[in-house]
Structure 1
Amino acid sequence: MKSFLLYFGLFSIFTTMAQSTKPNDPLAHTYSIVARDANTGEMAVAVQSHWFSVGTGVSWGEAGVGVVATQSFTNRSFGIRGLDLLKQGKSPQQAMDILLSDDEGRDFRQVAILDSKGRVATHTGKNCIVYASHANGENFSIQANMMLNDKVVPAMEKAWKTYNKLPLAERMVQVLLAAQNSGGDIRGKQSAALLIVAPEATDEPWNDVLLDLRVDDNENPVKELDRLLNVFRAYEHMNQGDVYVEKNEMKKAMAQYNAAMKMFPENLEMQFWTAITLANDKQFERAAEMLGKIYEKDKNWRELTRRLPKVGLLNVSENELLELVK
């Protein structure tokens, strides 16, 4: 009995030591960048990992406040707590010091914090799996761990500085592509994410997140993220076209819709709303021609056309409607 108690006591001690030495937080060995666009003030986090749905744990941001990337053995609380410390007026370094001060897993953490002024703080724990390092400067911080080689972080930094003429979202994707092309995660690829928040908070917080794209499980997540960004840009044209329709500025609306269709010519939805706009602009022949081709590919669009007059989205007579749905 005594030997059992001694064994149990030693087991408890060793278990406690293991828990305090190595955290039980979710793994997100990965590469990421937090950055601020010096021209617009927008702030972003971009990340890729061989781990499912990396964007749900690593990427955190708030308009007018800053962004946080928390990875390696991911302490998700660092995201919300880090942003809260920034809102309290703490600098990124002060916020980092507070977060790590009582964290027993600090040696396994990799964290980057950037505020709305472009100041950064980065921590790479001594027990992060090699290759693990970071590079930072005004308006950016790059961090990576468990990389195939030591070329990943330098390649990411070079890409950040090289593509400085691109919009922030496209620039962030180029940084991720540079990391992957330099070797990336030693385990391979699985998920990626891109989060962008506004430079200032507004009284409409639902509009303060400018972009939130996530690829949770894919053989080529960064490539897929790049594709989704292109889709997002196309729908920006569609949304702007809708605004012009509301203002009855049909020529401007058509210019936006055409720009979207050029980016994704096979997208039936973009074609459909362009045709409806043509019909509302009394260009029935062109509208009917476009709609006919759409119906051949998917007859459900014909039924949708029939439903639009009732809600005021298609302003045509009954005879004109018959021509559009035949």
Structure 2
Amino acid sequence: MTFSIVATDGTAAGVAVASKFLAVGSVVPYARLGSVDGVTHVVGAAATQAMAKWSYKIDALDHLRGGHDAAYAIAQVTAADDDREHRQLGVVGADSQATYTGSACMDWAGGRSGADDSGRYAIQGNILTGEQVVADMEHAWLDSAGDPFERRLVAALLAGDAAGGDSRGRQSAALLVVSPGAGYDASGVLVDLRVDDDPDAPHELARLLDLNDLYFGGPQGVQPLAGELGVEVTERLATLGYSGGDVAQALESWAGVENYEMRLSPDGIDVRVLAALRQATD
């Protein structure tokens, strides 16, 4: 009932998943950071699905943190479970990857895993329209080498959806990515997005990722608030009721209301903030 990709590029680890199941993000994905001698590092990521067992993902990453590889982690957590043939599990670590599909998982069910210079991945799914779903996910992951890690995960998920995805349809999707020092509070959580109930959940997840980048990405393409641009921004902000003081103060006030604080720069206006201001006043 679910298809997912679990991956790491060495600096980040995460999971993208979609399913005809309510709030799949509350069950399937998990990713963890660790620390050695005060230095934070990627431990790995995991996805538990089919007849999902929540503890699988926690226990698997405990094994990774203990120095074992992904295949060992899967062997250990499945060996102790009488219902393992009804379950799927994908695991990636800093130097290993593996996927498991129990023999009793509903057709089509299976997975593939691998590694290259751009990272490690494990892709798996069950009740799919066919093997092409995981094949296209793998191709999308490999073909997107060089793109931002979180974008690669979503690209793979969308490729699986386009290939047919869950044979029963769409309902939910999720994206979880961790990376040392990432996130607006430097907690290490780069992205944590969930679409719990939507008839086009994978594409809604992609839309939310765009918003996540807009709200939490750093300044890009900053242009000075001078000359014609300074006049334009001043006039547009005044249209929205932000006037008085200098243009930088008015921009800061508006950006605070719209949650664009992460993109503010003392050197001028961020290109995406400018686009949003223009859209709001056209």
Normalised by the size of structure 1, how large is the TM-score?
A: 0.65
The number of aligned residues is 234
Q: How does 1:175-194 map to 2 (within 5 A)?
A: 175-194=156-175
One-letter code aligned to 2:126: N
Give the structure 2 partner of residue 7 of structure 1: none
One-letter code aligned to 2:209: L
Please, which of 22, 37, 48 is the counterpart of residue 52 of structure 1? Answer: 22
Secondary structure in 2 matching 1:193: strand
The answer (yes or no) to whether the contact 1:278–1:286 under 8 Å persists in 2 is no
Q: Which has a greater percent of strand? A: 2
How far apart in 1 are the matches of 2:49 and 2:253? 48
How far apart in 1 are the matches of 2:66 and 2:135? 33
Give the structure 2 partner of residue 76 of structure 1: 54
Which consecutive residues of structure 1, in runs of 5 or more, have no partner in the other structure?
1-28, 242-251, 259-276, 297-301, 309-326
Give the structure 1 partner of residue 108 of structure 2: 131
The answer (yes or no) to whether the contact 1:112–1:143 under 8 Å persists in 2 is yes
Q: By how many angstroms is 1:101 displaced? A: 1.2
One-letter code aligned to 1:94: Y
Secondary structure in 2 matching 1:207: coil
The answer (yes or no) to whether the contact 1:41–1:116 under 8 Å persists in 2 is no
Large movers: runs of 4+ above 3 Å: 283-288
How far apart in 2 are the matches of 1:165 and 1:95? 29
How far apart in 2 are the matches of 1:190 and 1:151? 20
Which consecutive residues of structure 2, in runs of 5 or more, have no partner in the other structure?
34-41, 243-249, 257-282
Residue 221 of structure 2 is aligned to residue 221 of structure 1: no
Normalised by the size of structure 2, how large is the TM-score?
A: 0.74
Q: 1:305 to 1:51 in 2, by over 3 A?
A: same
Secondary structure in 2 matching 1:142: strand
Secondary structure in 2 matching 1:184: coil
How far apart in 1 are the matches of 2:234 and 2:69? 60
How far apart in 2 are the matches of 1:286 and 1:162? 41
Give the structure 2 partner of residue 211 of structure 1: 191
Q: 1:220 to 1:286 in 2, by over 3 A?
A: same
How far apart in 2 are the matches of 1:73 and 1:157? 23
The answer (yes or no) to whether the contact 1:96–1:113 under 8 Å persists in 2 is yes
Residue 2 of structure 2 is aligned to residue 30 of structure 1: yes
Give the structure 2 partner of residue 62 of structure 1: 32
Give the structure 2 partner of residue 146 of structure 1: 127
Percent same amino acid among aligned pairs?
A: 35
Tell which structure's C-alpha radius of gyration is larger: 1
Residue 73 of structure 2 is aligned to residue 92 of structure 1: no
Backbone CA RMSD of aligned residues: 3.0
Q: By how many angstroms is 1:148 displaced? A: 1.6
The answer (yes or no) to whether the contact 2:90–2:124 under 8 Å persists in 1 is yes
Residue 131 of structure 2 is aligned to residue 116 of structure 1: no
Higher RCO structure, 1 or 2 (CA under 8 Å, sep 6+): 2
How far apart in 2 are the matches of 1:162 and 1:43? 18
One-letter code aligned to 1:162: D
Secondary structure in 2 matching 1:229: helix
How far apart in 2 are the matches of 1:141 and 1:284? 49
Q: 1:59 to 1:305 in 2, by over 3 A?
A: closer
Secondary structure in 2 matching 1:289: helix
Give the structure 2 partner of residue 11 of structure 1: none
Residue 81 of structure 2 is aligned to residue 103 of structure 1: yes
The answer (yes or no) to whether the contact 2:181–2:187 under 8 Å persists in 1 is no
- Alignment deviations for residues 249-304 of structure 1 (CA, whole Å, 9 cap, x no partner): xxx8xx44x7xxxxxxxxxxxxxxxxxx969xxx98555412232249xxxxx9x9
The answer (yes or no) to whether the contact 1:155–1:179 under 8 Å persists in 2 is yes
Q: By how many angstroms is 1:236 displaced? A: 3.5
